[in-house]
Amino acid sequence: MFYPLVSEDELKEGLFEKKEVEGISLLVIFRHSKIYIIENKCGHFGMPLHKGHFEEDTIVCSYHGISFNLSDGEIANRPYENCASVNTFEVVSKEGFIGVEFSGTGK
C-alpha cells in the first residue's frame, strides 16, 4: 500500500520530516539532491534519530554518536559492538507525492 509522506512541491534541500506509517516512525530527508526514507530508530538502543545531526551522507545518533549511511542504513562508524543497521525504505513518487510502499518492513 502506498503511503504519501510529503508532496513533491515540499521538496527542498534540507527537508527533514518525521512521519509515522503503521506505527513505525520514519524520517524523510532531502539532502545533497537525494531523497532518503529511513526508520527513526537507532540500531543501538532504539533512540530516535531525528534528534541527531548530519555528517556528509550519514545521520549521527545524538545519544551515543553512532552514524548510519542514509542510502542503505548501514553503520558508518561502530563505537559499540551491540549495534544493528537501521531500516531504509524505497522512495516512491506517485501522483505528486513522495512516499513508501509499506508492508511493515524496510530494506
With a CB cutoff of 8 Å and minimum separation 6, the contacts of 15 are 6, 28, 29, 30
Higher pLDDT, 1 or 105: 1
pLDDT band at 79 (very low <50, low <70, confident <90, very high): confident
Over residues 95-107, the mean pLDDT reads 79
Give 36's strand partners: 29
Question: Can you give the pLDDT at residue 45?
Answer: 85
pLDDT digits over 42-77, tens only? 988 889 999 999 999 999 999 989 999 999 999 998
Whether the full predicted model's pTM is greater than 0.85, yes or no, is yes
Question: Can you give the pLDDT at residue 28?
Answer: 96
pLDDT digits over 8-49, tens only? 998 999 889 999 999 999 999 999 999 999 999 998 888 999
The Cα 73–Cα 4 span in angstroms is 21
Domains contained in the chain, CATH given: 2-101 (2.102.10.10)
C-alpha cell recorded at residue 93? 513518487
C-alpha cell recorded at residue 88? 531504509
* Alpha-carbon dihedral 36, 41, 89, 79, rounded to 10 degrees: 70
